[in-house]
Amino acid sequence: MHFSLGIDAGGTYTDAVIVRDSDGSVIESSKALTTYPDPLPGMKNAIDMLNPEYLKDIKLVSVSTTLSTNTILEGTGFPVGLIMVGDYVIPEKLPTDYWVAVSGGHNSDGEELKALDIDSVKEFALRVKDKVSAFAVSSYFSNRNPEHELAVKKAVKELTGHPVVCGHELSQDLGAYERAVTAFLNAQLIPITHKFIQAIVKEFEVRGINANLLMLKCDGSVVGIEEALEKPIETIFSGPAASLVGASYLSKFDTCAMIDVGGTSTDVAMMVNGLPQLSNSGAVVGGWQTRVKAIRMETSATGGDSHVWVKGDRIYIGPRRVIPLCRASVIYPGFKDKLKRNKVAKGYLCESIQVTKFYVRTGFRPIELKAREREIYRHIGEEPVSFGDLLVALKKRPSPSVLDSLIQKRLIQAIGFTPTDALHVLGEYTEWDVEAAQIGASMLGRLLKQSPEAFSTETKRRVARNIAEDLIAYLIEGMPRSEIDRVLMGRNFTRFSVGIPVVLLGGPVKAYVEDLKNLINADFIVPEHAEVGNAVGALVGKGIKRVEILIKTKVIPISHEAEAENIDYEAHEKCPAEGIMQYETKNEFIVFSPSERKKFDVYSEAVEYAEKLGRQLVMDYMVNAGLQKENIRIDVSRRHLAPSGWTDAPLETNLVFVGIGTPKTSISA
């Protein structure tokens, strides 16, 4: 009997599931804490919890990981040289210090605008080759003609030996600068991804697992390991994509909304007719707009580990993540006694200073600390310290902004009360130390003259309202959050109603169902194995390939000399005796595809060629990714651009080919 293994390294937990190939049943699962900055130890821990008898017969492994996302967010990618070809408007903010803009590029028809300044490219490459690990190149309208990008790639590789990533290889969408950013981010991830995947392969070899290895992309599809190595940028946000695919699989709904309540955040996305709904503009990561096709999602900093804090007479949730009190009590012996003794003057309270907040070092190596940061950092060690401890050690009030800066630099981690603690107090989730959570709820509740249970109930209600707000903000794009909140609060005698199932994923997510139902009319569903739905999604993602081909109509003027005897000279006062220039036009149809640019004189021939090429590109990709032809379905959609009442060939015809298939040795749907 054969099995498949799905692994998802999320923001807080790394989940693993084993699925039986014969019927697609989840037969075992595990959860381990995600490890930073290297997720591999957390993956090993999750695998170690699984039955080794099943592991012997694993034939497929599929992984989703936060590695690419975290690398970009933390700015820990490898240095990259960026080459921009064409008349760019260079923004003030660039993702690298090593860049150059050179002459070249094409127009929207793929015709060369200026000759490529290859000498400047070579000079730049030689100047920075010892300072960077890879290069990225983006040329103006390379999605219509990539010859300048390819020429740069060839020259730079020959001179430096470094990897070179081209913008057109990652996206056929318009936006030369956005393609440049996408290529840059991809290039800086390549060395990290190579190391990570090699480590995974070695780990499976040591365990005697001989399996086909796949990775989940941010559009919910899976790719073979070779493509994952070439295009690691496409694995950003693969965690939410895994959750969406898992939600659809576990609930057996092809169309549904998904809410994944994790430790760090809440993600909302939607599946329509078995395919994830994608963002039209591309993924935004670390503030950079890319041209990576990703699921459209709404994300907020509300999770099980969000910091719950009090100021004045209000309860605040997030946005920072902390270690829950209930878990800190298990990790750090004696923490409960420290918590009981902790005191803070009410006037000092802010997000960084709370009666339930403590700080501990993370193990990251400090670099270039400012004097005020050094002063506080040296008093924080491997055991939790409170605001009071720092006040005594420093003989003055610790600066909240400096504490915040040390957290942003990931040098210290905060401990505090969380929604997870609230659920422990209410008895709805009791995996860790209930007493520590009760102590925290009592201390914070006392500030608002509430019992521990009342404070925890209100915290839980606030979390549910945040989740509901995220769902409506996703479904009704552009609706102001303030208006959403007014309806959720029950004003104006109105309620939101959702017409598709809403599938909930996450460890203790059942606890929020009733509160959500009180806010929104919807069919909220918590499927079996919801606590590891993302790992299931990492495994059951289909092979999906999208190819877009554009047919553009270009009007070509035709000139010829008319003979003198055929001209009415009265109608043409300024005609030379030998003849006159007459103008006619004809249509030329240019096909732009990811593989080439081709011209036709007849529209129907252009369409026929595009249809055949699009299907072939999809089929070749999917077969190379390990899919069987008989299990591949290709859908084609067409969109025409033409003025109202137009009877000639469309000005533009856009064909989108979507191939869908199931990987070899994958589980049954």
Query: Residue 636: which residues within 8 A CB-CB, separation 6 or more?
Result: 611, 614, 615, 655, 656, 657, 658
- Asked whether residue 100 is domain-assigned, the answer is yes
pLDDT tens digits for 343-376? 877 777 888 889 999 999 987 777 778 888 888 9
Q: Are residues 446 and 547 in the same domain?
A: no
Domain housing 317: 306-457
pLDDT tens digits for 59-106? 888 888 888 887 776 677 889 999 999 987 878 788 888 999 999 999
Q: Are residues 583 and 446 in the same domain?
A: no
Which of these three, 422, 457, 492, is where a domain ends? 457
Between residues 87 and 122, which one has the greater pLDDT? Answer: 122
Q: Are residues 322 and 453 in the same domain?
A: yes
Q: Are residues 447 and 580 in the same domain?
A: no
Q: Are residues 420 and 554 in the same domain?
A: no
- Asked whether residue 32 is domain-assigned, the answer is no
pLDDT tens digits for 143-188? 889 999 999 999 999 999 999 999 998 888 888 889 999 999 999 8
pLDDT of 337 > 80? The answer is yes
Residue 543's pLDDT is 77
What's the residue count for the chain? 669
Total domains, the chain: 3
Closest by CA position to 136, among listed 175, 203, 200, 84: 84
The mean per-residue pLDDT over the stretch 217-239 comes to 83
Residue 496's pLDDT is 93
Q: Are residues 551 and 434 in the same domain?
A: no
pLDDT of 210 > 90? The answer is no
pLDDT of 490 > 80? The answer is no
Residue 514's pLDDT is 93
Q: Are residues 453 and 549 in the same domain?
A: no
pLDDT of 137 > 60? The answer is yes
- Asked whether residue 400 is domain-assigned, the answer is yes
pLDDT of 267 > 70? The answer is yes
Query: What are the CA-CA distances from residue 260 to residues 202, 270, 497, 504, 614 (Å)?
Result: 32, 11, 20, 6, 35
pLDDT of 580 > 70? The answer is no
Residue 518's pLDDT is 92
- Asked whether residue 45 is domain-assigned, the answer is no
- Asked whether residue 219 is domain-assigned, the answer is no
Residue 298's pLDDT is 85
Closest by CA position to 11, among listed 331, 243, 282, 186: 243
Q: Is residue 530 a contact partner of residue 509, using CB atoms and an 8 Å limit?
A: yes
pLDDT of 536 > 60? The answer is yes
The mean per-residue pLDDT over the stretch 408-424 comes to 91
Query: What are the CA-CA distances from residue 381 to residues 13, 330, 411, 412, 592 (Å)?
Result: 24, 18, 11, 9, 59
Residue 451's pLDDT is 95
Q: Are residues 431 and 559 in the same domain?
A: no
d(CA 230, CA 207): 26
Residue 578's pLDDT is 46
| Mean of per-residue pLDDT scores for the chain | 86
Q: Are residues 453 and 312 in the same domain?
A: yes
Residue percentage of the chain with pLDDT more than 90: 44
Q: Are residues 444 and 565 in the same domain?
A: no
pLDDT tens digits for 370-411? 888 888 988 998 899 998 889 888 888 888 888 888 888 778
The mean per-residue pLDDT over the stretch 475-485 comes to 89
Model confidence band, residue 585 (pLDDT cutoffs 50, 70, 90): low
Q: Are residues 324 and 429 in the same domain?
A: yes
- Asked whether residue 214 is domain-assigned, the answer is no
pLDDT of 603 > 90? The answer is yes
Which of these three, 138, 160, 188, is where a domain ends? 188
Residue 668's pLDDT is 46
Q: Are residues 426 and 327 in the same domain?
A: yes
pLDDT of 198 > 50? The answer is yes
pLDDT of 41 > 50? The answer is yes
225, containing H or E segment: helix 225-230
Q: Is residue 228 a contact partner of residue 64, using CB atoms and an 8 Å limit?
A: no
- Asked whether residue 226 is domain-assigned, the answer is no
pLDDT tens digits for 657-667? 988 887 654 44
Closest by CA position to 153, among listed 143, 168, 172: 168
- Asked whether residue 471 is domain-assigned, the answer is no
Pinpoint the alpha helices (H) of 49-111. 52-55, 67-74
Q: Tell me, what CATH number does 156's domain have?
A: 3.30.420
Three-state SS sequence of 600-652: ECCHHHHHHHHHHHHHHHHHHHHHHCCECHHHCEEEEEEEEECCCCCCCCCCE
pLDDT tens digits for 634-648? 999 999 998 888 888
Write the DSSP string, 260-327. Answer: EE-SS-EEEEEEETTEEPBPSS--EETTEE-----B--EEES-STTEEEEEETTEEEEEEEE-EEHHH
pLDDT of 564 > 50? The answer is no
Which of these three, 173, 188, 203, is where a domain ends? 188
Q: Is residue 549 a contact partner of residue 665, using CB atoms and an 8 Å limit?
A: no
pLDDT tens digits for 302-333? 888 899 999 988 999 988 889 999 999 999 99
Rounded to the nearest 5 percent, the helix, strand and coil shares of the chain are 40, 25, 35
Between residues 230 and 162, which one has the greater pLDDT? Answer: 162
Residue percentage of the chain with pLDDT more than 70: 94
pLDDT of 579 > 60? The answer is no
